[in-house]
Amino acid sequence: MKTIIFFNNKGGVGKTASVTSVAHMLASQYNKKVLIVDLDPQMNTTSMFNEVNFMKQFFEVYKGEKSGTDKSVEDLLLDTELDIHECIKKTEYDNLDIIPSYLTLSEAEERMKADVRTPQQFKLKEHLEKIQDEYDYCIIDTSPSVSIININGLVAADELYVPLRCDGGSLLGAAIVMNLYKVVSRYNSKLKMGGMFFTQWNGRKNVSKSVYNLLNEVFGQYIIPVNIGTSKNVEESSLMQIPLLAYDSGKNKSKVTEDYLKLTEYIFERI
Ligand SMILES: Nc1ncnc2c1ncn2[C@@H]1O[C@H](COP(=O)(O)OP(=O)(O)OP(=O)(O)O)[C@@H](O)[C@H]1O
Ligand SMILES: [Mg+2]
């Protein structure tokens, strides 16, 4: 199993759009067995692939009585003894499973820190090692923060991909991610920089050119030669909770679907 993480601590750069599109394309176009891990308490990826009953969750959170049947990534991070299979849910798509997130994942961090017996950063890695032979890819979505939960993702990963938008916040995000990559590489020596790529790209804007040129000067070796364009199809598919390629399944695909197919091919062919 190859574990891939999409991370940028800047929000709204296309992490979830990329995770949901690439994971579904690897499963449907390349016939690979794919497991998504949602590390974001916002549950955006989770709600696309796993029915989320917000009413039920509301009462569970409010009353502090979570049912034992709906295990999520939070349970996995808090319980080193838990069988990871209990957290894996099938999706309606062939070859595609998910370990869902849960709203209270954001609170889990404090409880993780309270457990001093196990190093905090290695909890996800230890669980994923047990299913190495069951999947071809594990694709991790992250929240926009430098949290111990996201560090768990980086420690468990083989490759890091950084989606960027052409704006000032993305510039800072790229700098923070690269520094974090260096730190985590010290204790996860197999972590490779898969690359950075631009999303919601509009090459006609001057700001796009300026940000692109600056990042190319500093991180040129890491920039993937695929830019993901801007399209309402991405927003619509996420609103309808359908992965991009399933939403745009006709013969004449939109440019953004073709862009994501190219990105998936790039990731697939990287050794
Ligand atoms: N290529 C695109 N074209 C048009 N809209 C896009 C594109 N990619 C993402 N979006 C939209 O931009 C918003 C942010 O995208 P997304 O949720 O993927 O970012 P994110 O990095 O996961 O955000 P967060 O940090 O909050 O988790 C969403 O509304 C999404 O539908
Ligand atoms: Mg997201």
Strand order in the sheet with 159-164: 89-90, 96-99, 34-38, 137-141, 2-6, 159-164, 192-198
Distance from the CA of 262 to the center of ligand 2, in angstroms? Answer: 21
Give the environment of ion ligand 2: residues with CB less than 5 A. 15-16, 44
pLDDT at res. 68: 56
Q: Tokens 């409010």 — which residue?
A: 62
**Side-chain half-sphere CA neighbours of 85 within 13 A:** 4
DSSP bridge partners of 90: 97
Residues in the chain: 271
Instruction: Copy the structure tokens of residue 263.
Output: 């990105």
- DSSP H helices in 131-229: 148-156, 168-187, 206-219
> Does residue 204 sit in helix, strand or coil?
coil
Q: Tokens 């996201």 — which residue?
A: 150
Distance from the CA of 40 to the center of ligand 2, in angstroms? Answer: 7
Distance from the CA of 168 to the center of ligand 1, in angstroms? Answer: 17
148 touches 115 (CB < 8 A): no
pLDDT at res. 69: 62
Q: Which residues of the chain have pLDDT under 70?
A: 66-69
Going by DSSP bridges, is the β-strand pair 2-6/159-164 parallel, antiparallel, or unpaired? parallel
pLDDT at res. 16: 98
pLDDT at res. 235: 95
152 touches 187 (CB < 8 A): no
190 CB-near residues (< 8 Å, 6+ apart): 158
Task: Looking at the CA of residue 237, tell me the nearest atom of ligand 1.
Answer: 31
> H or E stretch including 268?
helix 255-269
Domains and CATH numbers, the chain: 2-269 (3.40.50.300)
Q: Which of 151, 157, 176, 165 is nearest to 212 (CA)?
A: 165
pLDDT at res. 167: 85
Q: How many angstroms separate the CA atoms of 209 and 215, rounded?
A: 10
pLDDT at res. 82: 95
Q: How many angstroms separate the CA atoms of 208 and 60, rounded?
A: 45
Instruction: Copy the structure tokens of residue 236.
Output: 């619509």
Query: What does the pLDDT look like over 192-209, one tens digit per residue?
Result: 999 999 999 988 888 888
Q: Which residues surround ligand 1 with Cβ inside 6 Å?
A: 11-17, 40, 42, 44, 143-144, 199-200, 228, 230-231, 234-235, 238, 256
pLDDT at res. 151: 96
pLDDT at res. 174: 93
Task: Please list, residue by residue across 191-226, b when 16 or more beta carbons sit within 10 angstroms of its beta carbon and e when fewer do.
Answer: bebbbbbbbbbeeeeeebeebbeebeeebeebbbeb
180 touches 152 (CB < 8 A): no
